[in-house]
């Protein structure tokens, strides 16, 4: 998702009452309400590819897999975000009606408009989620997936590209990078076609 330029101040309580009545989705960040707008076709295709693989493998295990229209509450900071893909296997989230609070895995699909926010402010907040085990950043300018994995007192970082298999220990699943990008046209594909 892409943050729009509309933002204004509100309390968390006001946000939670007001936001469900809106046509757009809004994130709540340190007292600022920020409008979200739609992403690109590539953003959508990538999120759906991941969603398909995660849901097929994890729903039978009792996990929830949600996409773009479901928000995550970061209780430690009081902020609310809309990740592109959320996985929670926590019993406390099974019957959640308004937000997910105990995710194991969060995914953000990067675009030029959201990359800084996803690497900065969102990542700072997501690290405060005690149940979060892995955070993925999926690039839309080229085929590259970045994985942050929680260790006991620190986070490790690894990249995955075409020909590699992403190991998601948080949910016990392996996904080939090619499967994440299946049927997705990226800017690099357009540039390559133009030069051929």
Amino acid 8: pLDDT? 87
Q: Give the C-alpha separation, 127 to 92, whole Å.
A: 19
Q: Which residue has the tokens 């995914």?
A: 107
116: CATH: 3.90.1570.10
Q: 67: which strand partners?
A: 85
Amino acid 4: pLDDT? 44
Mapping DSSP to helix (H, G, I), strand (E, B) and coil, where does residue 191 land? helix
Amino acid 116: pLDDT? 87
Amino acid 68: pLDDT? 84
Query: Which of 81, 89, 112, 100 minimizes the C-alpha distance to 12?
Result: 81
Is 98 part of a structural domain of the chain? yes
Is 44 part of a structural domain of the chain? yes
Q: 2: which strand partners?
A: 37
Q: 66: which strand partners?
A: 86
**Contact by Cβ (8 Å): 68, 37:** no
Q: Give the C-alpha separation, 144 to 188, whole Å.
A: 12
Of 56-70, 77-91, 100-114, 177-191, least confident by mean pLDDT is 177-191
**Contact by Cβ (8 Å): 140, 42:** yes
Is 86 part of a structural domain of the chain? yes
Amino acid 113: pLDDT? 82
Question: Region 24-49: what's the mean pLDDT?
Answer: 91
pLDDT of 194 > 60? The answer is no
pLDDT of 85 > 90? The answer is yes
Does the pTM surpass 0.85? The reply is yes
Mapping DSSP to helix (H, G, I), strand (E, B) and coil, where does residue 21 land? helix
Q: How many domains does the chain have?
A: 1
Is 24 part of a structural domain of the chain? no
φ/ψ of residue 71, rounded to 5: -95, 155
pLDDT of 165 > 80? The answer is yes
99-148 residue pLDDT tens? 999 999 999 999 888 888 899 999 999 999 999 999 999 999 999 999 99
**Contact by Cβ (8 Å): 18, 34:** no
Domain containing residue 155: 39-195
**Contact by Cβ (8 Å): 142, 186:** yes
Give the length of the chain: 196
Is 162 part of a structural domain of the chain? yes
Query: Which of 43, 45, 50, 3 minimizes the C-alpha distance to 26?
Result: 3
Is 30 part of a structural domain of the chain? no
Task: State the chain's mean pLDDT as an integer.
Answer: 91
pLDDT of 2 > 60? The answer is no
């Amino acid at each position: 998702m892409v943050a729009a330029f509309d933002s204004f101040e509100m309390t968390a309580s006001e946000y939670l009452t007001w936001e469900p009545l809106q046509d757009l989705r809004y994130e709540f960040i340190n007292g600022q309400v920020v409008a979200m707008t739609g992403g690109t076709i590539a953003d959508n295709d990538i999120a759906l590819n991941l969603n398909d693989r995660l849901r097929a493998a994890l729903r039978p295990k009792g996990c929830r897999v949600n996409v773009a229209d479901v928000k995550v509450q970061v209780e430690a900071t009081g902020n609310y975000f809309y990740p592109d893909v959320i996985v929670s296997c926590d019993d406390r989230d099974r019957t959640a009606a308004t937000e997910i609070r105990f995710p194991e895995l969060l995914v953000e699909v990067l675009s030029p408009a959201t990359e800084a926010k996803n690497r900065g402010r969102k990542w700072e907040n997501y690290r405060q989620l005690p149940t979060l085990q892995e955070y993925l950043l999926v690039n839309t300018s080229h085929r590259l997936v970045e994985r942050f994995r929680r260790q006991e007192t620190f986070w490790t970082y690894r990249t995955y590209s075409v020909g590699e298999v992403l190991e998601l220990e948080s949910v016990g699943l392996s996904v080939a990078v090619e499967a994440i990008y299946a049927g997705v046209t990226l800017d690099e594909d357009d540039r390559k076609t133009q030069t051929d």
